[in-house]
A and B are shown apart, each in its own frame.
Chain A
Amino acid sequence: SQQGEEDPQALSIQEGENATMNCSYKTSINNLQWYRQNSGRGLVHLILIRSNEREKHSGRLRVTLDTSKKSSSLLITASRAADTASYFCATGGNQFYFGTGTSLTVIP
């Protein structure tokens, strides 16, 4: 029962540009989390936004949450080549459900 669905599936941008990824989910949530995965590695937690929050910032990351639309977005500002990775949203309570991810390529 996969919950999160990221969009787009793949994104390619130039270094310095902003990257926006979207996530849609199906049922009510307590929070939504974003993770990053470098090729061939495990996932790393980036940011958590609670259901009563609308926006959250962490460094170059900005996450928004719209519970009425069951959607979230992750914005990476001033992207760097090192941001090249796959990004996943995850929802759930005791169990976490992940989408299929957005593959981001930042071209130097």
Chain B
Amino acid sequence: DVKVTQSSRYLVKRTGEKVFLECVQDMDHENMFWYRQDPGLGLRLIYFSYDVKMKEKGDIPEGYSVSREKKERFSLILESASTNQTSMYLCASSLAGRRENSPLHFGNGTRLTVT
């Protein structure tokens, strides 16, 4: 089974801090994704990556950046955390390249609170 591991389940940070959320997958998946999930808004795509060192913006990239230096690791960075970034962050990965659709495999999420 694919395992997607997010480094923290719960995280509390202060406004203005730089925050790193780490995600590692163990199945050599090409694609990796970061979503945030908020009540009433569902899952919204922040950034995704098709390959090492590649990144593309999703629907809500403002205030975030990402890093993919190794295939198995996809990091989400909050440059200067703000209270409106309090949310559940979900990392996911999937097999195959751009033109194929394969299921997403999710981590268990990181619940980030910014105070």
Contact A93 B99 (CB under 8 A): yes
Q: Known contacts A30-B101, A93-B99: does B107 contact A42 (CB below 8 Å)? A: yes
A81 at the interface (CB under 8 A from B): no
Contact A41 B108 (CB under 8 A): yes
B114 at the interface (CB under 8 A from A): no
Contact A88 B42 (CB under 8 A): yes
- Which A residues from 37 to 77 make CB contacts under 8 A with B? 40-45, 48
Chain A's interface size range is 20 to 34
Number of interface residues of B (CB under 8 A): 27
Contact A1 B59 (CB under 8 A): yes
- Kindly identify which residue among B41, B43, B103 contacts A45, using a CB–CB cutoff of 8 Å: B103
In the assembled complex, the Cα of A41 lies from the Cα of B109 at a distance in Å of: 6
- Kindly identify which residue among A31, A88, A96 contacts B33, using a CB–CB cutoff of 8 Å: A96
Contact B109 A96 (CB under 8 A): no
A98 at the interface (CB under 8 A from B): yes
List, sorted by A's number, 21 A–B pairs whose CB atoms are closer than 8 Å: A1-B59, A2-B42, A30-B101, A31-B101, A33-B103, A40-B109, A41-B108, A42-B92, A42-B107, A44-B106, A45-B103, A45-B104, A45-B105, A90-B104, A92-B101, A94-B31, A98-B35, A98-B43, A99-B42, A100-B41, A101-B42
Q: Which residues of B contact A (CB under 8 A)?
A: 4, 31, 33, 35, 40-45, 48, 50, 58-59, 90, 92, 98-99, 101, 103-109, 111
Q: Which residues of A contact B (CB under 8 A)?
A: 1-2, 30-31, 33, 35, 40-45, 48, 88, 90, 92-101
